[in-house]
Amino acid sequence: MLPQARPQKLVVLTGAGMSAESGIETFRGAGGLWEGHRVEDVATPEAWSRNPDMVLRFYNERRRKLLAVEPNPGHRILAKWEKRMDVQIITQNVDDLHERAGSQRVLHLHGELMKSRSCGPKEHVMTMSDWEMKRTDRCPDGYPLRPHIVWFGESVPFMVHAFPIVEQADCVIVIGTSLQVYPAAQLAFEAGPGVPVILIDPNAEELAVPGARLLSMTASEGLEALDAHWFGA
């Protein structure tokens, strides 16, 4: 049973499945991004020290692909809801498809593909206008740049903001995440007592979130169903 009343404070947790219908690969499962790569070769600080060219190639390629795709109807529904109610998105995704659909309240736990960050002592974060990051690129202080991505083994600085946001929600929707990567996955279990949690994922039955209502559908299908339920669209 879906919650009848429209939420007052909706929190939406999104993972790679949110962007699958836009044509971006998920990470796990058949044909997933990690199937073609060893995580430790491309998504760790050690990989960056050992072979920065390989890391840059990996993220350049992902950026190039991102620039070639568009937000899907699911992204657009979330952006539309933000105009009608209090919606906060917390995403594990590094793409900018929520923003390109029009969502403004998006917390990126794992960084942002279209940003670069200084390797120097100051926290310079810069928005990129194109897909290519080069070894010779420098921050304003002359230090090398790295992708603005939280790699495996690094801390997730926005978790401290994310926990209270989820705890204050009166409805939580979890979309397209296998809930295998911590600490981000922990958020799916942090809703307050009695607060409805809705899982939208073709494999929703496999995700063990106690008491969650399951919509075993794609992100767009699930959000269209909820949109019709709450707004009669």
**Active-site residue list:** 110
Of 28 and 134, which has the nearer Cβ to ligand OAD? 28
CB of 192: closest distance to ligand OAD in angstroms? Answer: 23
| Whether the Cβ atoms of residue 19 and residue 180 lie closer than 8 Å to each other | no
The nearer residue to ligand OAD, 145 or 219, going by C-beta atoms, is 219
Interaction site with ligand OAD (CB under 6 A): 15-17, 20-21, 26-28, 32, 43, 92, 110, 150, 175-178, 180-181, 201-203, 218-219
* DSSP, residue by residue, 52-70: HHHHHHHHHHHHHHHHT--
Q: What is the rounded CA–CA span in Å between residue 64 and residue 24?
A: 11
Say how far residue 133 (Cα) sits from the centre of its chain: 21
Report how many helices (DSSP H) and strands (DSSP E) the chain contains, helices first: 8, 9
In the complex, least distance from residue 135 CB atom to ligand OAD, rounded to whole angstroms: 21
Which residue lies nearer to ligand OAD by CB, 122 or 161? Answer: 161
Length reported for the chain: 233
Q: How far is the CB of 136 from ligand OAD (least distance, A)?
A: 25
**88 strand-pairing partners:** 11
- Measured distance CA(165)–CA(90) in Å, rounded: 9
Q: Considering beta carbons, is residue 17 or 196 the nearer one to ligand OAD? A: 17
Q: How many Cα atoms occupy the beta-carbon half-sphere of 156 within 13 Å?
A: 20
Tell me the closest approach of the beta carbon of residue 224 to ligand OAD, in angstroms: 12
